[in-house]
Amino acid sequence: MSATLLANHFTSGRNSRSAFRLVGTSRAWSDVIDRAARVAATDVTTCLQGESGTGKEVIARFIHSSSPRRHGPFVAINCATLPDQLFESELFGFERGAFTSAQQSKPGQIELARGGVLFLDEITELKPPAQAKLLRVLQEREFQRLGGTRVVTADVRVIVATNRDLHEAVAQGTFRADLYYRVNVFDIRIPPLRDRGDDVMLLAESFLEDIAWSRGVGRFTLAPLAAGALRAHQWPGNARELRNVLERATVICNGGIIEADDLSLDPPAVFRGGNTTDLNSVERSTIERVMSDMDGNISKAARTLGISRTQLYVRLRKHGFGQATI
Judgement on whether residues 55 and 185 belong to the same structural domain of the protein:
yes
- What's the rounded mean pLDDT across residues 272-300? 67
DSSP 81: G
Which of 166, 189, 212 lies at the terminal end of a domain, its last residue? Answer: 189
Contact 313, 298 (CB under 8 A): yes
For the cut 70, the answer to whether the pLDDT of residue 9 exceeds it is no
pLDDT, tens digit (0-9, with 9 covering 90-100), for 165-220: 999 999 999 999 999 999 999 999 999 999 999 999 999 999 999 999 999 988 99
**pTM of the predicted model, to two decimals?**
0.73
Question: 63-72, 166-175, 232-241, 312-321 — which is least confidently predicted?
Answer: 312-321
For the cut 70, the answer to whether the pLDDT of residue 89 exceeds it is yes
What pLDDT shows up at residue 286? 75
DSSP 146: B
What pLDDT shows up at residue 322? 60
Overall domain count for the chain: 2
* β-bridge partners, 77: 120
Question: 247-251, 281-285, 300-304, 315-319 — which is least confidently predicted?
Answer: 281-285
Q: Does residue 4 lie in a domain region? A: no
Judgement on whether residues 57 and 170 belong to the same structural domain of the protein:
yes
For residue 161, the enclosing domain spans 41-189
What pLDDT shows up at residue 311? 76
What's the CATH code of the domain at 185?
Answer: 3.40.50.300
Which of 189, 222, 238 lies at the terminal end of a domain, its last residue? Answer: 189
Positive or negative torsion for Cα 245, 251, 252, 253: positive
Name the average pLDDT for the chain.
82
Alpha helices in 11-65 (DSSP H): 27-40, 56-65
Determine phi and psi for 272, rounding to 5 degrees: -135, 115
Question: 179-183, 298-302, 321-325 — which is least confidently predicted?
Answer: 321-325
Q: How many residues does the chain have?
A: 326
Q: Does residue 7 lie in a domain region? A: no
Q: Does residue 13 lie in a domain region? A: no
Distance CA 278, CA 237 (A): 12
For the cut 70, the answer to whether the pLDDT of residue 2 exceeds it is no
For the cut 80, the answer to whether the pLDDT of residue 276 exceeds it is no
Q: Does residue 123 lie in a domain region? A: yes
Judgement on whether residues 175 and 201 belong to the same structural domain of the protein:
no
What pLDDT shows up at residue 212? 94
Judgement on whether residues 180 and 48 belong to the same structural domain of the protein:
yes
What's the CATH code of the domain at 280?
Answer: 1.10.8.60
pLDDT, tens digit (0-9, with 9 covering 90-100), for 43-77: 999 999 999 999 999 999 999 999 999 999 999 99
Higher model confidence: residue 29 or residue 294? 29
Determine phi and psi for 158, rounding to 5 degrees: -105, 130
Judgement on whether residues 88 and 137 belong to the same structural domain of the protein:
yes
For the cut 60, the answer to whether the pLDDT of residue 17 exceeds it is no
For the cut 60, the answer to whether the pLDDT of residue 15 exceeds it is no
Judgement on whether residues 201 and 293 belong to the same structural domain of the protein:
yes
pLDDT class for 307, splitting at 50, 70, 90?
confident
- What's the rounded mean pLDDT across residues 258-263? 92
Distance CA 74, CA 97 (A): 29
The alpha carbons of the chain give a radius of gyration, in whole angstroms, of: 21
Share of the chain above pLDDT 70, in %: 82
For the cut 50, the answer to whether the pLDDT of residue 16 exceeds it is no
Judgement on whether residues 171 and 197 belong to the same structural domain of the protein:
no
Q: Does residue 3 lie in a domain region? A: no
Judgement on whether residues 179 and 52 belong to the same structural domain of the protein:
yes
Judgement on whether residues 90 and 223 belong to the same structural domain of the protein:
no
pLDDT class for 297, splitting at 50, 70, 90?
confident
Judgement on whether residues 110 and 178 belong to the same structural domain of the protein:
yes
Q: Does residue 103 lie in a domain region? A: yes
What pLDDT shows up at residue 108? 81
Judgement on whether residues 64 and 185 belong to the same structural domain of the protein:
yes
Judgement on whether residues 69 and 90 belong to the same structural domain of the protein:
yes
Q: Does residue 323 lie in a domain region? A: no
Q: Does residue 236 lie in a domain region? A: yes
Which of 189, 219, 241 lies at the terminal end of a domain, its last residue? Answer: 189
